[in-house]
Structure 1
Amino acid sequence: MKILGTILFILTVSLLNAAPLRVLKNDTINDTHNKDFVYNVKKAQSSIIIDGVLDEPDWQAAQKAQPFYRVLPVDTGFAYQQSEVLMTYDDEALYMAFVFYDTVPGKRIMESFRRDFNFGNNDNFLSFFDTFLDQTNGFSFGISASGAKWDGTMSDGSAVNLDWDCKWEAETVHHDDRWVSEMRIPFKSVRYPSGGQRWNVNFSRLDLKTNEKSSWAPVPRQFPTASLAYTGVMRFDEPLPKSRINFSLIPYIYGSFANDYEFGDGAAYDKDFGFDAKIGFSSALNLDLTYNPDFAQVEVDQQVTNIDRFELFFPEKRQFFLENSDLFSGFGYHTVTPFFSRRIGLDAPVLAGARLSGKLGNDWRIGFMNMATRETSEHLARNFTVASVQKKVFTRSNFGFIFVNKEYLNQPDSTNLFNRVAGFDYNLASKNNFWEGKFFYHRSFQPGNPDKQYSQGARLEYQTKNIQVELSQTSVGENYCAETGYVPRTGYNFLGPEIRYLFVPNKKVVSHGIEVELENYFDPDYKKIEHIYTYSYMFEFQNRSSLEFGYQDSYVKLQKDFDPTHINNHSLAAGSSYRFGGAYINYMSPSKNLFNWQAEAAKGTFYNGNIQYIQGQLGYRFQPYVNLTMNFNYTDMDLPQPFEHTKLWLLGPKLDVTFSKNIFWTTFVQYNEQLDNMNINMRFQWRYQPVSDIYLVYTDNYIPGSWNSRNRALVLKMTYWLN
């Protein structure tokens, strides 16, 4: 397996040797695929009022970014619903104006006023800025038809992390034949090279009434319009303002009530304060500080019924960890990464932390994080340090190094508790985005330093409109230990080819095709211990609905005792082998419908018994004020004695009310039979100033059946952004 990984690594480097390494200067452009799409941004001669009315002289003089090209359902020709984008700037901010022509009868689709809206459920406009011309990292800003904002940081060439927020303004006005938006984005809210005059940019529009996605610089349909490899070019009249130290302070205060009825601790009242701070040393390098952070306002995770043998993954949502997060969490694979920020503060409160991240020059990025957690009755105080550096090579590729250190503080003299990981990653991305890949090697260090503390992987993918081929490989040693990472299993070798072929007839069925994914796991001696073979056929329809059906064949030789239900006192024995499989079908309705739904149903054998399940989500919106959803999962497992016939329900009704662009209320109820718990989480948010909020959060957990409360809490929190 390691030999295969080395071969893949050599092949990826060879593929890119044809792409010359360019040194970026003020007057050169690191060519994108759409380098001939150029927008000249003129400097404003007078003030711009953000009101959605384009009556200022600078808008009349601005160049129009038009026409827009179709991306979906097919990437041929011009968009049916056309759009225009105008830009100007001054010494403080970038201004954008959008005109979205709408001549199709019917209401515009707008789910709610909530910030960072669901892209597929709204008519919307998005912009993507590659400020350092590396076609890998950037910023995204957008607006929905309701006027809801979208902002996020970009990494890996197209991924957008929407949990990042910054200060900016936007207003939207509706007319019979169009809707118009204006934006003002302060330069201090984004990172860019001081004195530069060029960014890469693209604009994307989703119009659900015509089921059409379009962009200014054309993008092949197999890629997202966020793909920075297909951006056009922005030229500013004059060099952008030089950076200066920017300082933002975000203090918070909170008070809380809690009562844990199960442990009988009685009512507890608490009050505290803390702060976050942001220091921009330059327009490219940022220092984040936090003291006594509180994350009570973070949205709760959506629960799932767990029938897997390994730990589940839940994404990071805490604001402090998000900007440039790929510098820390982007190493390795999703299934074996040396750093997973949710490990910090999971079992003990965070005392304080600092995070330095950003660019040094055109080709280098750095990241440094240091966090300390408090001592509790169960855990010593701990210090977490992460350091990384990334160097851009060739056109869009990079290599990086990471070091992670977890140190226990105030240890007894007889102990030496620590965990460290060091590693190297190479990320491949070809100029046209058709080739992608990765190679990595990581090693852990811990007391005693046993052998086989490595994790290594390689992946190579080729993707066009019709065909996608991927080969991935992983090897993880038995003693590899990344306590601050996400490594659900160790002591295995993995090989996984995958191929998909799509026909694109451009009719009522826009595309259809077959996919085969073969996942193979081997023990350290390369004896097979597991495989998951998935054969599927998929259809994408013109109304943006989709249908997929297939068959999954599985084989497992258990390495540890395992209870598939997670609720019995019985287990399948380690060393026993099972071959099982079943058929499934998945359907997703059109997002534009007020009532929309998606569901997956499956039936087959499961280990030494049988299983059937249905899961999905139902939704209805009273746009743009109320959005009702219901997550559901019903799992029926019938395993032979000594297991009992197990039927599990998981129901998650959610009510999301957006009274305005600044006032929101969410109630999320999750009834989980597998956990024998019902959780209620209610959150009220008032954004009384830009990025400044008052939260009122109520949480209660009940025992199903008796409906006695396990524990409940009420938190009032206020934050204010001083900038």
Structure 2
Amino acid sequence: MKITNPLSPVKILLLLGFCFFSVWASAQKKNAGYQYHIRKSAGPIVIDGLIDSAWLKTDSADKFAMVLPMDTSLATVHTIVRMTYDNNNIYVLAVCYTAGPNQYMVESLKRDFNFQKNDNFIFFLDPFDARTDGFSFGANAAGAQWDGTMYEGGKVDLSWDNKWTSVVKNYPDRWVFEAAIPFKSIRYKKGVGLWGINFSRNDLKTTEKSAWAPVPRQFPTAALAYTGSLVWDELPPDAGTNISIIPYALGGISKDYTNGSKTDWKKEFGGDAKIGLTSSLNLDLTVNPDFSQVDVDQQVVNLNRYELFFPEKRQFFLENGDLFANFGYSDIRPFFSRRIGLNAPIRFGTRLTGKLDKDWRVGLMDIQTGESNDAITPAQNYGVLTLQRRVFSRSNIGFMFINKDATGSSAPGNAYNRNVGMEYNLASSNNAFTGKLLGIKSFTAGLKGHDIVAAGHLQYLSKYWTLYLQDEYVGKNYTAGMGYVPRVGYNKISPLVLHSFFPKQGSILTHGIQLLSNYYFDEHFKRTDNESSLAYIITFRNRSVFTLTGIDTYIKLLVPFDPTNTGKTPLPIGNQNHWNTIDAQFASKPQALFTYLLEGLHGGYYIDGSRSSLIGQLGYRFQPYVNLSVNTSFNDLHLPAPYNNTTFWLVGPRADVTFSNTLYFTTYVQYNGQVKNINTNVRLQWRYKPASDFFIVYGDNSIPSPYMVKNRQLVVKWTYWCNL
């Protein structure tokens, strides 16, 4: 009997699990008893890292709870936090004592640092106390800033950038962080006097991570399920008129040597506007945006049969970006903003995002692009509507409608694609149970039937166990014209089991065994491929990690595929392959000046071939000003004719020089032997005022042998953030 119903037995099991576990989702807030009473400042606050008299009249939060290495005691390094406010700003002061004189570790002064490799203090604000989304601010021990928006109850998007100020001052036995967060830089509901908050401290010398409101060690300190309460003595002041104008001016020169075109001189003007319609609802406008200062993508060797995913980094798409970008799964995204403006310029765009109240979030986007430079791609209009309704304590129900239409005289008739979808996101009050139920239907001219998505997963996470089960169905005619869906026409079942052990003494902090499988079937539930892995993971007390993994792989090709991905004759449809791989990886302790990650794998490959790979990530820091790193991978493929032996090198050295926490110089080179390309990117950034920048960016692409430049460009860009 052929089974084509997307409601497989696994989905029915997941549905029953959701009905059962949702009963627990309405429990009370875990750390409601941890309260910080914030009072209006008794005097002016100057952001200088000094404890002025006004600070001594505020309440203090101390007695942080240890999260790592164990969550059963108070922290050994002492942290004291104070907060106050006035009509314009929220002020935060953190005194972070160290285990010895001048003992702190940082990578550099660059913004949005790696949490694991820096001594830092970070706090998490949940203005609606909804335990699902919010804001994060902080700094490392040398003063590099960290800011991001929070989503899915504990994840932080560091691509978000806003206007605020901070200073870090170092003393022999402590470092002091002081910051002012403008009310205009965050979104909150007028009349709400109880917010969620938590403070986090990471100290590499003692390998200790701690939090004011206790967080179980299996969760990040960013977990909003475990925030305490910020109690206002008066209702937070109205942010008032909240309009920001962010213009830019750009000049540049570029040359395409491959096509022999003339030198192109570039002069552009444009900008963004942010309009606070309410204290929690924001309207973003953009006209002729330019994203030349954004980091180029990190190159990888692609031995995959499907399209790779690269994250969004453009500022316009980031605030409340989770409303759009996180609908669905990592390989089922009906909306993926990088589809917009990829091959054609964005002319203008509008985004309305934010909260209507504690339970409702809304996102509305409309963007118009022009024709591509080669006139092959017509102008497009992209429209998205998303709504999210909070249910129980931390769960939500989401709705999304997506429309893509070709516009202009060159647009073909009836060229549209639409998606309509709903999802239920489960998050229990203590974060132990999480999950999703998802349904999407697409509407595309000329395609009918087999155009839906039905998927779901359920996860249980405790100190000792991680249990996960996911099921997906994607019809063969499902089309996401604005999305990232690299594969269609399949059913997928993915179980995961992880059990961890905690020795009471010795050099090992925790060790555990993990079993993970991904089984793919066609729409008639005939197996097409699967990958199963059995891993043993050891985390040492100094935070270094060793992982040993055995992998079993089976693939039946559904489309022709060149196993080297270099344009050679592809293997035919129906070709079947089965092989095993052994993989070993070691990541060094993050507190060392010299850090490294080494990985080696060896096993079979297509058509009874073999693959050996070596991967290395090396880093050295001259703290706090210079951070040097290099990413390297080597792949050696041994295959029968006509492929024979093929080797690929990928080498990416990088240097980050931070003269201060407002002046950064970054340069990196990427050599990719698979695509025979050398990419160079050099960027100087001067943040001359909060959220206002001056950039000089140089980039080129070259053929390595014989060496020949393909294209070059030099851009100078100025931006200014003006609050009205």
CA distance in 2, matches of 1:185, 1:369: 27
2:17 pairs with 1:16? no
Which residue is 1:46 aligned to?
Answer: 43
CA deviation map 1:185-237 (0-9, x unaligned)? 11111011102211010000000000100000110000000000000111011
SS in 2 for 1:659: strand
C-alpha contact (below 8 Å) 1:9/1:438 kept by paired residues = no
Q: Structure 2, unaligned stretches of length 5 or more? A: 1-5
Give the Cα separation in 1 of the matches to 2:716 and 2:239.
37
Match of 1:523 in 2: 522
Corresponding position of 1:124: 120
**Partner of 1:526: helix, strand, or coil?**
coil
Shift of 1:487: 0.2
Structure 1 residues 117 and 414, CA gap change in structure 2 (3 angstroms): closer
Partner residue in 2 for 1:375: 371
How far off is 1:103 after superposition? 2.8
Indicate the residue corresponding to 2:254 in structure 1.
258
CA contact (8 A) 2:379 2:411 kept: no
| Aligned counterparts of 1:375 and 1:648: Cα–Cα separation in 2 | 36
Deviation at 1:570, TM superposition (A): 1.6
**Match of residue 564 from structure 1:** 563
Per-residue Cα deviation, 1:619-653 (whole angstroms, up to 9, x for no partner): 00111111100011100001111113100000000
Tell me what 2:107 maps to. Answer: 111
| Aligned residue type for 2:340 | I
* Stretch of structure 1 that moved more, 243-252 or 434-443: 243-252
Distance (Å, rounded) in 2 between the aligned partners of 1:473 and 1:104: 51
In 2, the alpha carbon distance for the partners of 1:356 and 1:568 equals: 44
Say whether the 8 Å CA contact 2:626–2:655 is kept in structure 1. yes
Q: For the residues of structure 2 that align with 1:122 and 1:243, how far apart are their CA atoms?
A: 33
- Residue aligned with 1:17, SS: helix
Q: How many residues align?
A: 713
Structure 2 distance, partners of 1:410, 1:6, is: 46
Q: In 2 relative to 1, CA 165–414 (structure 1 residues): closer, same or farther, beyond 3 Å? A: closer
5 Å matches for 1:192-591?
192-376=188-372, 377-411=375-409, 415-507=413-505, 508-591=507-590
Q: Distance in 2 between matches of 1:18 and 1:665?
A: 50
SS, match of residue 2 in structure 1: coil
* Letter paired with 2:643: F
Q: Secondary structure at the match of 2:684?
A: strand
State the distance in 1 between where 2:258 and 2:196 align.
Answer: 56
1:42 shift after superposition: 1.3
Does the aligned pair in 1 maintain the 2:537–2:545 contact within 8 Å? yes
Partner Cα separation in structure 1 for residue 177 and residue 411 of structure 2: 64
Give the Cα separation in 1 of the matches to 2:701 and 2:488: 34
Residue identity opposite 2:230 in structure 1? M
Q: Distance in 1 between the 2:410 and 2:312 partners?
A: 33
Aligned-residue Cα RMSD (Å) equals 1.2
- Corresponding residue for residue 24 of structure 1: none
Q: CA deviation at 1:120?
A: 1.0
Tell me, in whole angstroms, the C-alpha distance in 2 between the residues paired with 1:359 and 1:269.
Answer: 43
The question of whether the paired residues in 2 share the 8 Å contact of 1:477 and 1:492 is answered with: yes
Distance, in Å, in 2 between the alignment partners of 1:660 and 1:476 is 50
Q: Distance in 1 between matches of 2:592 and 2:224?
A: 31
- Are the counterparts in 2 of residues 692 and 720 from structure 1 also a CA contact under 8 Å? yes
Among the aligned pairs, what percent are the same residue? 46
Gapped regions of structure 1 (runs ≥ 5): 22-30
Cα separation, 1, equivalents of 2:25 and 2:541: 38
| Local SS of the residue matching 2:11 | helix
Alignment map for 1:154-193 (pairs within 5 Å): 154-193=150-189
Counterpart secondary structure, 2:109: coil
In 2: Cα distance, 1:6 partner to 1:251 partner: 52
Q: CA deviation at 1:666?
A: 0.6
Report if aligned partners of 1:104, 1:209 keep a CA contact under 8 Å in 2. Answer: no
Once residues 244 and 459 of structure 1 are traced to their aligned partners in structure 2, the CA distance between those partners, rounded to angstroms, is 43
Deviation, 1:43, is 1.2
SS in 1 for 2:603: strand
Q: SS at 2:660's partner residue? A: coil
The aligned counterpart of 2:7 is 2
Amino acid at match of 1:439: L
Task: Look up the equivalent residue of 1:478 and give its one-letter code.
Answer: K
- Rate the CA distance shift 1:450–1:258 in 2: closer, same or farther, 3 A: same
Question: Quick check: 1:244–1:281 contact (8 Å CA) kept in 2?
Answer: no
Residue identity in the other structure for 2:246: I
Q: Deviations over 1:377-404 (max 9, x none)?
A: 1111000001000000001000010011
Amino acid in the other structure paired with 1:364: W
Counterparts of 1:429 and 1:709, CA distance in 2: 52
- C-alpha displacement at 1:243, in angstroms? 4.4
The answer to whether the Cα contact below 8 Å between 2:537 and 2:548 also exists between their aligned partners in 1 is yes
How far does the alpha carbon of each residue in 1:588-607 deviate from its partner, in whole angstroms, 9 at most, with x for none?
00111111000211001012
Q: How does 1:708-723 map to 2 (within 5 A)?
A: 708-723=708-723
**Cα distance, 1:457 vs structure 2:** 0.7
Q: Distance in 1 between matches of 2:537 and 2:481?
A: 39
Q: Is the 8 A contact 2:102 2:173 kept in 1?
A: no
User: Matches of 1:650 and 1:512 in 2, distance apart?
Assistant: 32
Q: What amino acid sits opposite 2:439 in the alignment?
A: Y
Cα offset, 1:157, TM superposition: 0.3
- Give the partner amino acid of 1:522: F
Compute the TM-score of the two structures, normalised by the length of structure 2. 0.97
| Counterpart contact for 2:131–2:394, Cα < 8 Å | yes
Q: Scaled by the length of structure 1, what TM-score is found?
A: 0.97
Q: CA deviation at 1:286?
A: 0.2
**Structure 1 residue 571, shift from structure 2 partner:** 1.4
